[in-house]
Amino acid sequence: MTKNTSLPEDLDAYFESHLLPSDAALEAADHRSQQVGLVPHAVSPLQGAFLQILAKAVSARRILEIGTLGGYSTIWLARALPADGTLVSLEISEANRAVALENISDAGLSHLVDIRLGAAADLLQAMIASGEPSYDFIFIDADKRSNPIYWESALKLSHKGTMIIVDNVVRNGAILDDETTDPDVIGVQDLLDLMSKSTGITATALQTVGSKGHDGFAIAMVD
Ligand code: DHB
Ligand code: MG
């Protein structure tokens, strides 16, 4: 029999089968997102659990997500919240937002989640200008070319102890190409340059392999 999965994918399946209980709401969210043709850019189940563990580890009561897509990571993160917690998620596409609202409603999490429609850079600027309270956990996972502005905004919406995670900082190593003209790759390179100049944070990056290929997270905590 020909094998058409890679070792990292097989290992993801193995870990999922051992560590993640089957979950109707997450499976339905994944299924609906595929049915309506959303881009397959959601985090993997194991990555979703990783994000949830990190949000719980900082006892997050207020979570900000930049880039909702179909709300798959939103569900993982909202489940880290206490009963009176809040998750604000920013989404530019009305169609994506509609799918996410259904997925979040089916997961029984609507009371915790506020999905705001618009360009995240504008929404963030308004949040900062209006003096919105800071967030305990921030997940940046939208258009990669805007990572620098998302990073700067995230810092402004942070407090000591805020954890900031940025998805997709590896993308098969594309960021090592210093002659790239791809604005999304440049967005990640500029993010890393900004992070290197940011004072008052402890930061790292973790490469990942698995069902999402070779990718990684940048992870920072505000000191
Ligand atoms: C892409 C975006 C993502 O957020 C992701 O997790 C994977 C891929 C993309 O734009 O290609
Ligand atoms: Mg992503």
Closest ligand to the CA of 139: 2
Residue 74, pLDDT above cutoff 70: yes
Band (pLDDT 50/70/90 cuts) for residue 4 is confident
Contact 121, 149 (CB under 8 A): yes
- Ligand 1-lining residues (CB < 6 angstroms): 41, 141, 167-168
Beta strands 86-91; 113-117: pairing state: parallel
User: Residues 141-164, buried b or exposed e (16+ Cβ, 10 A)?
Assistant: bbbbebbbbbbebbbebbeeebbb
Band (pLDDT 50/70/90 cuts) for residue 5 is confident
Residue 67, pLDDT above cutoff 90: yes
Tokens of 136: 């305990």
Q: List alpha helices for the chain, DSSP H.
A: 7-19, 24-35, 45-57, 72-78, 94-106, 120-129, 147-156, 183-197
CA dihedral (214, 218, 219, 222) in degrees, to 10, reads 180
CA 130 / ligand 1 centre spacing (Å): 30
What is the reported pLDDT for 78?
99
What is the best residue among 69, 73, 74, 168 to mutate for testing ligand 1's pocket, by most ligand atoms within 8 Å of CB? 168
Closest ligand to the CA of 146: 1
State the chain's mean pLDDT as an integer. Answer: 97
Query: For residue range 9-64, what is the model confidence (pLDDT) as tens digits?
Result: 999 999 999 999 999 999 999 999 999 999 999 999 999 999 999 999 999 999 99
Query: For residue range 120-151, what is the model confidence (pLDDT) as tens digits?
Result: 999 999 999 999 999 999 999 999 999 999 99
What is the reported pLDDT for 215?
97
Beta strands 201-208; 215-222: pairing state: antiparallel
Query: For residue range 161-203, what is the model confidence (pLDDT) as tens digits?
Result: 999 999 999 999 999 999 999 999 999 999 999 999 999 999 9
**Sheet strand arrangement including 201-208:** 113-117, 86-91, 62-66, 137-140, 163-167, 215-222, 201-208
Residue nearest to atom 11 of ligand 1 (CA): 41
Band (pLDDT 50/70/90 cuts) for residue 2 is low
CA atoms of 5 and 190, how far apart (whole Å): 34
